[in-house]
Each structure stands twice: as structure tokens, then as C-alpha cells.
């Protein structure tokens, strides 16, 4: 036998027979699998692009929300600061007014005491004069 016949084993013969019988169908199936694989690859790429786009949109929305939240927080902090300053000013005015009212009341009370003391002195002077006239 020749070297070529030595190389042809029964398995090679079976492969050749299979190729002859099913070769065209195998090619058709391989083409269909290749086409399906290409379709799936395209679909996956499209979905990947859509997912990437959706992720970018969500990240942009999150960033906008964070910026808006930061801005709102900053505005609220400024408003609270203005409110606190306004309350502080109102309290200082209230304290000054109360202090002024108390000083006025003390002044009036002192004047009343002085007035009563001067009335007592006048009464004492009158009584002294009457006592002197009675004694004379």
C-alpha cells in the first residue's frame, strides 16, 4: 500500500462520507449559526450602546439633582442666617426697650419717693411752725 492509503484511516473515511452526505446541510447550518451570531452581536452592541446612553443620562440627572440640592441647601443656609440676624436684631431692640422702660419706671419711682419725702419735710416744717406759735 501507498503512504496515502496509510494516512486514510477509517475515521477519515467516515468523515468523508459524512461530508458527502451532510456537507451541504452542515454548511447551511454553519451559515445560519454565523448569521445568528452576527445578529446577536449587533443586538448586544445596540443594547450596550443604549445602556451606556441611559447610564450617562442617569449620571447627568444625578449630577443636576446634586447641584440643585447643593444650591437649595446653600440658599436655605443663607435664608436661615438672615432670619437669625433678624431675630437677633429684634431681640436686641426688645432688650433695649425693656431696659429703657425699667429705667423710666425706676426714675418715676424715685421721683415719687422724693416727692413724698419733700411732702413730709413740708409737713414737718408746718408742724414745727404751729408748735412754735402755740408755744409763744
What are the structural domain ranges in the chain?
9-135
pLDDT, position 17:
79
Which residue is it, cell 414737718? 124
User: How far is Cα 61 from Cα 69, in angstroms, rounded to an integer?
Assistant: 12
Residue 6 has pLDDT above 70, yes or no: no
User: How far is Cα 52 from Cα 46, in angstroms, rounded to an integer?
Assistant: 10
User: How far is Cα 43 from Cα 20, in angstroms, rounded to an integer?
Assistant: 35
Residue 65 has pLDDT above 90, yes or no: yes
Percent of the chain with pLDDT over 90: 51
**Confidence label for 84 from pLDDT (cuts 50, 70 and 90):** very high
User: How far is Cα 61 from Cα 135, in angstroms, rounded to an integer?
Assistant: 109
pLDDT, position 3:
47
DSSP single-letter state for residue 132? H
Residue 74 has pLDDT above 50, yes or no: yes
Which string of DSSP letters, residue by residue, matches 70-128?
Answer: HHHHHHHHHHHHHHHHHHHHHHHHHHHHHHHHHHHHHHHHHHHHHHHHHHHHHHHHHHH
pLDDT, position 18:
74
The per-residue pLDDT for range 20-59, each reduced to its tens digit, is 777 788 788 889 999 999 999 999 999 999 999 999 999 9
Which string of DSSP letters, residue by residue, matches 51-86?
Answer: HHHHHHHHHHHHHHHHHHHHHHHHHHHHHHHHHHHH
Q: Which three cell numbers stand for residue 49?
A: 450602546
Average pLDDT over residues 78-100: 94
Amino acid at each position: 500500500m501507498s503512504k496515502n492509503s496509510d494516512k486514510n484511516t477509517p475515521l477519515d473515511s467516515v468523515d468523508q462520507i459524512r461530508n458527502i452526505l451532510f456537507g451541504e446541510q452542515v454548511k447551511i447550518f454553519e451559515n445560519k449559526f454565523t448569521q445568528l451570531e452576527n445578529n446577536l452581536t449587533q443586538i448586544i452592541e445596540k443594547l450596550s450602546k443604549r445602556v451606556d446612553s441611559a447610564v450617562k443620562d442617569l449620571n447627568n440627572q444625578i449630577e443636576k439633582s446634586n447641584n440643585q440640592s447643593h444650591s437649595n441647601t446653600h440658599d436655605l443656609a443663607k435664608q436661615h442666617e438672615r432670619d437669625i440676624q433678624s431675630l437677633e436684631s429684634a431681640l436686641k431692640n426688645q432688650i433695649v426697650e425693656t431696659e429703657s422702660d425699667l429705667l423710666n419706671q425706676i426714675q418715676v419711682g424715685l421721683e415719687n419717693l422724693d416727692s413724698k419725702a419733700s411732702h413730709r419735710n413740708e409737713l414737718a416744717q408746718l408742724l414745727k411752725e404751729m408748735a412754735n406759735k402755740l408755744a409763744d
